[in-house]
């Protein structure tokens, strides 16, 4: 008995299934991945604040202060004000809420009036931006992002980016760049593997090499510091 008591619990990832017929998904691969693994309702509907909060902590290792910040930005109603009831994932697809132009997984809303379908050509293009042919660094991702911004600026007459509130602009354009590195490799200095990108962005699935954190480790201060690095690198090459 003492032997078994001393063992640490094994944190197993819940099974992945693609979105079932009639389900809803968001423009955010992080939320869609949680639904596909069953950490929030697999049909993407009637999701509570408590579900998302618990999933962010359990799956992505995000601490309470960062979770509360993100929930405030995702809340239905006025962006930035935590007016939570239950939410359907597709309701988060309003243009320039968390969905935005120059996404590296979706086309601009202007082109197809579709903010939810994954453009798999973009996912492959992202992987092809690997400078070493094996991994994708933050610099690789920034280069790809700048190309997308320039393309949208040239070809989308309604090109725009979220302007208010300012934290949402940072979240939509920069946090999403830093977050995969923070979650899957620890920080933006460590590159992502092509397998991680194909799994997370292409399938909305946790990578096969991912281990659930034993406890939340990423504070709001840490996530915003990582986000600031992505912002600085991007805005050095592209000015809105």
Band the pLDDT of 166: cuts 50, 70, 90: very low
- Is the pLDDT at 50 greater than 50? The verdict is yes
pLDDT at 76 over 70: no
Kindly give, in sequence order, each residue whose CB lies less than 8 Å from that of residue 131, ignoring residues fewer than 6 positions away. 137, 139, 140
% of the chain surpassing 70 pLDDT: 86
CB atoms within 10 A of CB 232: 11
Instruction: State the pLDDT at residue 125.
Output: 98
3-state secondary structure of 192: strand
DSSP state of 164: S
Phi, psi of 95 (to 5 degrees): -60, 135
Contact between residue 183 and residue 196 where contact means Cβ atoms under 8 Å apart: no
Q: What is the pLDDT of residues 197-214, one digit of tens each?
A: 999 999 999 999 999 999
**CB neighbours of 180 closer than 8 A, spacing ≥ 6?**
192, 196, 197, 200, 201
What is the per-residue pLDDT for 95? Answer: 84
28/148 Cα distance (integer angstroms): 17
Q: How far is CA 63 from the centre of its chain?
A: 16
Residue 203 C-alpha from the chain's centroid: 13
pTM to 2 decimal places: 0.90
Q: CA 126, CA 200: separation in Å to the nearest integer?
A: 12
């Amino acid at each position: 008995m003492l032997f078994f008591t001393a063992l640490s619990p094994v944190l197993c990832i819940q099974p992945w299934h693609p979105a079932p017929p009639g389900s809803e998904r968001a423009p955010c691969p992080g939320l869609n991945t949680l639904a596909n693994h069953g950490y929030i309702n697999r049909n993407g509907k009637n999701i509570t604040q408590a579900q998302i909060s618990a999933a962010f902590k359990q799956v992505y290792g995000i601490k309470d202060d960062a979770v509360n910040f993100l929930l405030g930005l995702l809340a239905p109603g006025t962006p930035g004000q935590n007016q939570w009831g239950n939410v359907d994932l597709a309701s988060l697809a309003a243009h320039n809420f968390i969905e935005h132009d120059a996404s590296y997984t979706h086309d601009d809303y202007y082109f197809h009036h579709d903010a939810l379908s994954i453009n798999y050509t973009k996912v492959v293009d992202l992987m092809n931006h690997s400078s070493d042919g094996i991994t994708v660094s933050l610099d690789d991702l920034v280069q790809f992002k700048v190309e997308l911004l320039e393309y949208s600026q040239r070809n989308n007459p309604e090109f725009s980016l979220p302007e208010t509130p300012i934290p949402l602009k940072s979240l939509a354009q920069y946090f999403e760049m830093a977050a995969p590195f923070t979650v899957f490799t620890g920080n933006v200095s460590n590159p992502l593997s092509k397998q991680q990108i194909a799994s997370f962005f292409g399938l909305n699935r946790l990578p096969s090499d991912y281990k659930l954190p034993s406890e939340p480790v990423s504070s709001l201060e840490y996530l915003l510091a990582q986000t600031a690095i992505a912002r600085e690198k991007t805005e050095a090459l592209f000015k809105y």
